[in-house]
Chains A and B, each alone.
Chain A
């Protein structure tokens, strides 16, 4: 599994990851046992509504969980050898940026408002420099910052390094943050809703940029988003999360053609397109269940249109179904006591080829 030979193989392997949040004496198990594999050079979309645990999973990969969050089980294996879940503070510091970098929805969370862009980009390189930094190094780091800013498509990068974050537009800031994330040549980029706050035109530009970077550098990207249309655009594989569980995962094309999980199907239907004009959009009634206390049965059962009695009492297994790699649904599990004669055929938003 852990092939380190050359530039192929598994970059990240998450095994039975469990994460808990503590607040006011109560414990919430946000991720019960997540498994996920990222191959080198892949863009994997991590999709779900708010409360699905997708951001918690993303933050866990860099061990950036808030103070009340804790990894309570499982492993996060980077390149088959390093278990991120067990690293010390100093080991983490060396890993972040160098092996794994992260960009956020709001680029201002990663930029210091009181320093010029150039200084901040130089500082990143100094922090990870093996030897004592000399003047000549600084100049070299600044040159590299300029070159990185040019690579992410910023016109006039010499001007940008002299600017403060507030002097740049949202799209420009996101490009700066991407350039910073690339400066230490990480293997894996975790992107948490990087285009959600941008205009459609700017979003299209940033997605095109990420595509280009991925191809040019063999970068692996974990792309967290609530927007399935973004997934359709840049991801090869998709992982759909709901209330802490992976509900379905597979190749984007397969999942969009024949979603196996009722939740995936409902999410795909809910996106307004021109074809929907005049017809009501599908929405998913109800709310994501609270993760406080004991949960029994399928977590989507209360909102599922195909629900049967078994769904409310038994936890569904994760099984391969159709062309999807894994689906957590009684309806798709031949061994389940679900009445399969009443199971509908999968219906996607894309006609099968």
Chain B
């Protein structure tokens, strides 16, 4: 189908080809309080994304995980040039996205698309589903021969044909989400960035969406960047996971390894917070107390140290950098070796 429709091996976690998307030392700083405080030099600005290096290979699924306020949505927007980056580079297929101008931006948008968190706010309430589905073709001047029909698109996302004549307000949350996905698929993109693709959906509708993303990836070889706070969702879909905390990536690696042997104390806490389906299991440990601090005023040294029970003096003063902890495993923690020895069981 698309030019990237390479069939992927079942265990794709190691199948790394060239990077489709590459983020290099990416920073997004939002202006501080602005106005007067800025004039007075008090506006410190919010470092929503604070020096992130990441890669997504062709056909790979990268999960970005973190609590609200961790900067994961801003990262996604910056990767698609939907928000201004302060410094660093975004490379897509080797081209520097931040330098694109005019028609080149539009071509980029054809290959890298976003599925927004709130499906209803991303669909025009004045358009019927059929027109919403064809809108991307109009924007990108796609010749008729390269277009899917409305029926084909509805079929891809497993929606009944009769929906074509409805308006967004007549759709359920799950249906609207599928229309959003169909719009993204219409252009046969190489990369789909999905922000909380199952948030606000019933369990059954959520699992249907996850199945759909999985099968589309198998069929078309599309690469995904999936943004979520729910680790069980990326655990189901992702090849690799990057964990973010206050604008920084604190750990990254193959999804299974992150799950089975998380190294960073924050990742360990996130894993421990995944609910158990077995009522006999001891209750999940609320391993981490407190809440993510404001990115306006992040803690010194390791941002996580005030909530970390393994913190030592260095953690308060020295910024940890990502160090290689194994093949494809990176962790930014001064104490990760000690933590693994001191508390081998993640759930304690």
Contacts and interface: CB of A to CB of B under 8 A. Distances in A.
B273 A203 contact: yes
Interface string B220-248: 00000000011111011000000000000
A169 B207 contact: no
A281 B205 CA distance: 11
Given A208-B283, A281-B210, A274 B278 contact: no
Interface string A251-281: 0110010000000001110111110111011
B273 A233 contact: no
B198 to A, nearest CB: 9
Interface of A: 49-50, 155, 169-172, 199-205, 207-208, 211, 226-230, 232-234, 252-253, 256, 266-268, 270-274, 276-278, 280-284, 287, 349-350, 353
> Which has the most chain B C-beta neighbours within 10 Å: A49, A199, A233, A252?
A199
B214 to A, nearest CB: 7
Contacts of A199: 67-68, 229, 292
Contact of B203 (A201, A211, A226): A226
A274 B277 contact: no
A234 B173 CA distance: 28
Interface in B233-288: 233, 235-236, 256, 259, 269-270, 272-280, 283-288
Given A202-B291, A205-B286, A256-B279, A282 B207 contact: yes
State which size class the interface on B falls in.
35 or more
A232 B277 CA distance: 6
Contact of B229 (A200, A226, A253, A268): A200
Contacts of A204: 272-273, 284-287
Nearest to A170: B68
B204 interface: yes
A188 B214 CA distance: 43
B291 A349 contact: no
Contacts of B278: 232, 256, 349-350
Contacts of B205: 49, 283
A271 B172 contact: no
B208 A350 contact: no
> Which has the most chain B C-beta neighbours within 10 Å: A266, A274, A284?
A274
B289 interface: yes
Contact of B230 (A200, A274, A278): A200
Contacts of B40: none
Contacts of B284: 204, 233
B291 A172 contact: yes
24 contacts: A49-B202, A50-B173, A199-B229, A200-B230, A201-B287, A204-B284, A204-B287, A207-B283, A228-B203, A228-B277, A232-B278, A232-B279, A266-B204, A268-B277, A270-B203, A271-B207, A272-B210, A273-B232, A274-B259, A276-B236, A277-B236, A281-B236, A349-B277, A350-B280
Contacts of B207: 270-272, 281-283
Contacts of B270: 200-201
B124 interface: no
A282 B211 CA distance: 9
A272 B235 contact: yes
Nearest to B172: A287
A110 to B, nearest CB: 20
B277 A272 contact: no
A49 B200 CA distance: 11
A155 B290 CA distance: 9
B155 to A, nearest CB: 15
A287 B208 CA distance: 12
A229 B291 contact: no
Contacts of B232: 271-274
Nearest to A280: B211
A68 B211 CA distance: 38
Contacts of B342: none
A208 B286 contact: yes
Contacts of B208: 281, 283
A133 B154 CA distance: 64
A172 B292 CA distance: 12
Contacts of B230: 200
B10 interface: yes
Interface in B119-175: 172-173
Interface string B191-218: 0000000000011111110110011000
Report the 3 A-B pairs with minimum CB-CB distance, sorted nearest first: A229-B275, A281-B207, A283-B208
A349 to B, nearest CB: 5
A353 B280 contact: yes
Contacts of A274: 232, 235-236, 259
Contacts of B233: 272
Given A229-B276, A229-B277, A277 B283 contact: no
A268 B208 CA distance: 14
Given A201-B67, A273-B277, A267 B204 contact: yes
Contacts of B204: 49, 266-267, 270, 283-284
B291 A169 contact: yes
Nearest to B285: A204
Given A49-B204, A211-B283, A284-B204, A201 B273 contact: yes
Nearest to A209: B286
A238 to B, nearest CB: 9
Contacts of A281: 207-208, 210-211, 236
Contacts of A208: 283, 286
B228 to A, nearest CB: 10
Nearest to A257: B279
Contact of A271 (B273, B277, B285): B277
Contacts of A211: 283
Nearest to A196: B200
A201 B286 contact: yes
B236 A272 contact: yes
Contacts of A268: 277
A332 B100 CA distance: 64
B291 to A, nearest CB: 5
A90 to B, nearest CB: 38
> Which has the most chain B C-beta neighbours within 10 Å: A204, A229, A256, A278?
A204
